[in-house]
Amino acid sequence: MSTETADVGREDFLNTTPRRILAGVVGGFVGSLLMGGMMTMMRPGTLNVAIPAMYGVEGPSAVAGWAFHGWHGVVLGALYVLGVDNVPGLRERARTLGGAVAGGVGYGVVTTLLPVLVMPLWLSTVGFANAPSFPNLAFPGTVMSAVMHAVYAVPVALAYYAVGRGTGEAE
């Protein structure tokens, strides 16, 4: 019996499986690369200055920005899986292609709350001189952020969907 077969239907942690968590992690990393590419073109200061500043890195650092942004993507990808597998009705929807895409866009909108609500407070707390005001709502900036976060989250949702399909879990 292969490991893949042994994992089908096995729910080890908070109603999910290691394969689904791994799918969220991989999808989150891929999504963070796509979103990071968009940020590099449209908002390089956020990626190279603000994100590193959240962790105490002063001055521009593309390496730190990419590393921390990738870490955020991985963590949020795993959290997507935990959310989908534990909120009634979401698991079934996320296991259809249309539901996965819609869920990814929806999760992108939800993760847009992080730069709106969390980043201003975090950057102020660490003493970043250019911390945005709270809440960080601006037009068209917040709309651009929502689009970028959707670009991040759709690969997360598609990875979850693909794992479900590959194990016979998808509907």
Residue 134 backbone phi and psi in degrees, to 5 = -105, 130
Task: Tell me what the mean pLDDT of segment 145-164 comes to.
Answer: 97
Task: Tell me what the mean pLDDT of segment 61-85 comes to.
Answer: 97
Q: How far does CA 157 lie from the centroid of its chain?
A: 10
The domain total for the chain is: 1
Residue 8 located in a structural domain = no
Residue 171 located in a structural domain = no
Domain that holds residue 148: 15-166
Q: Are 14 and 85 in contact (CB under 8 A)?
A: yes
Residue 14 backbone phi and psi in degrees, to 5 = 50, 50
Does position 117 have pLDDT exceeding 60, yes or no? Answer: yes
Does position 2 have pLDDT exceeding 60, yes or no? Answer: no
Residue 117 located in a structural domain = yes
Chain mean pLDDT for the chain:
90
For the question of whether the overall pTM of this predicted structure is more than 0.85, the answer is yes
At 15 the pLDDT is 85
Task: Tell me what the mean pLDDT of segment 61-70 comes to.
Answer: 97
